[in-house]
């Protein structure tokens, strides 16, 4: 028998891009889906793999399996929307993980408890201090991402939201491992914590709107450049998957008309 949680998960609208079941709703939809889990502190894993992470997953079965365990997998970046289009499916818009988390902070009931985990020593505390100013009705705590695993501390804090910012794959593995014992909405958010702390600047709005945030991030942090390398092969694979599924559909149609 299906648990309520699995049944709920089956009803979340998704579109598969290669193997990744991306959420195919809006930002508001994603927040509305997550709120009951937040309020009742029921474990709910939100992953935010952009196209560079999806490209890695296309060549790494372990990562691909891991990403499929997300309760909500958000298309963080216009690369995901493009990959979907090439695969022949439609994602209405990109949903940046940082926008999702901020929208969730705004909608969370007063006194909701938010734990920020990750980044270099001092950064998480600074991010918490700045977020406290913007959301005085929420309770923030923080731990950096290079010391001992703070899972016990986080559990004792009884969080409604845990932002896990350890970089792609590491953060999803951590969430998968600890989700049951923590509860609440656990979000893999990568470098968002550096933005909240003010150590990294987000791209100006017009670049975000025109889908060029990735170019801005790469220019500001050239160490990210190698991450773009697998993208052409990934987009090509998406295009091939569309042609394969078209051919399959044609063959199935042919078979059913012969039967008749």
Q: How far is the CB of 248 from ligand UDP (least distance, A)?
A: 34
**Distance (Å, rounded) from C-alpha 57 to C-alpha 20?**
9
Whichever of 4 and 148 has its CB closer to ligand UDP, that residue is 148
- Contacts for 109 with CB less than 8 Å, ≥ 6 apart: 39
* 230 near ligand UDP (CB under 6 A): no
Note whether 77 binds ligand UDP by CB under 6 A. no
Q: Which is nearer to ligand UDP, 136 or 147 (CB)?
A: 147
Token readout for 113 is: 């408890």
Residue in 5, 65, 120, 209 binding ligand UDP, rule: CB under 6 A: 120
Return the closest-CA partner of residue 47 out of 105, 88, 97, 101.
97
The 3-state DSSP class for residue 223 equals: helix
Q: Which residues ranging from 15 to 74 are in contact with ligand UDP (CB under 6 A)?
A: none
- Contact flag: residue 138 with ligand UDP (CB under 6 A): no
- Looking at 16-24, 130-138, 176-184, 191-199, which segment touches ligand UDP (CB under 6 A)? 191-199
Residue 145 binds ligand UDP, judged by CB under 6 A? yes
- What is the token pair recorded at 217? 């991030």
Instruction: Tell me which residue has its CB nearest to ligand UDP.
Output: 145
Residue 42 carries which DSSP code?
-
Stretch that binds ligand UDP, among 56-64, 132-140, 152-160, 187-195 (CB under 6 A): 187-195
From the list 32, 36, 106, 146, which residue makes contact with ligand UDP (rule: CB under 6 A)? 146
Question: What SS3 class is residue 86?
Answer: helix
We find the least distance from the C-beta atom of residue 259 to ligand UDP, in angstroms, to be 49
What is the smallest separation between the CB atom of 249 and ligand UDP, expressed in angstroms? Answer: 36
Which is nearer to ligand UDP, 166 or 182 (by Cβ)? Answer: 166
What tokens appear for 118 in the block? 């990750």
CB closer to ligand UDP out of 84 and 116: 116
- Rule CB under 6 A: say whether 191 interacts with ligand UDP: yes
Q: Which of 107, 12, 52, 89 is nearest to 223 (CA)?
A: 52
Q: How many angstroms separate the CA atoms of 31 and 160, rounded?
A: 14
Which range in 10-18, 39-47, 63-71, 112-120 contacts ligand UDP by CB under 6 A? 112-120
DSSP SS3 for 23 = strand
- Among candidate residues 47, 48, 58, the one with its CA nearest the CA of residue 83: 58
Could you list the beta-strand ranges (E) of the chain.
Answer: 14-17, 20-23, 44-47, 72-73, 113-118, 139-143, 161-165, 185-188
State which residue, 8 or 216, has the beta carbon closest to ligand UDP.
Answer: 216
Binding positions for ligand UDP, rule: CB under 6 A: 118-120, 145-146, 165-168, 170, 190-191, 193-194
């Amino acid at each position: 028998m299906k648990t309520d949680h699995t049944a709920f998960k089956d009803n979340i609208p998704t579109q598969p891009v290669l193997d990744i079941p991306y959420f195919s709703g809006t930002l508001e939809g994603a927040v509305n889906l997550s709120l009951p889990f937040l309020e009742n502190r029921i474990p709910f894993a939100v992953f935010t793999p952009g196209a560079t992470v999806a490209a890695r997953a296309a060549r790494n079965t372990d990562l691909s399996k891991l990403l499929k365990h997300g309760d909500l997998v958000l298309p963080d970046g216009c690369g995901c929307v493009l990959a979907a289009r090439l695969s022949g499916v439609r994602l209405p818009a990109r949903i940046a993980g940082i926008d999702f988390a901020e929208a969730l902070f705004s909608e969370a009931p007063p006194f909701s408890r938010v734990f920020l985990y990750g980044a270099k020593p001092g950064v998480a505390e600074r991010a918490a201090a700045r977020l406290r100013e913007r959301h005085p009705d929420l309770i923030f705590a923080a731990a950096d991402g290079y010391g001992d695993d703070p899972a016990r501390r986080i559990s004792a804090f009884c969080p409604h939201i845990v932002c896990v910012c350890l970089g792609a794959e590491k953060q999803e593995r951590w969430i998968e491992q600890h989700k049951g014992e923590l509860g609440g909405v656990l979000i893999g958010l990568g470098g968002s914590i550096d933005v909240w702390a003010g150590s990294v600047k987000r791209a100006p709005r017009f670049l975000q709107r025109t889908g060029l945030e990735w170019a801005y991030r790469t220019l500001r942090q050239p160490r990210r450049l190698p991450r773009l390398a697998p993208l052409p092969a990934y987009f090509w694979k998406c295009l091939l998957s569309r042609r394969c599924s078209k051919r399959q559909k044609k063959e199935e149609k042919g078979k059913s008309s012969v039967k008749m």
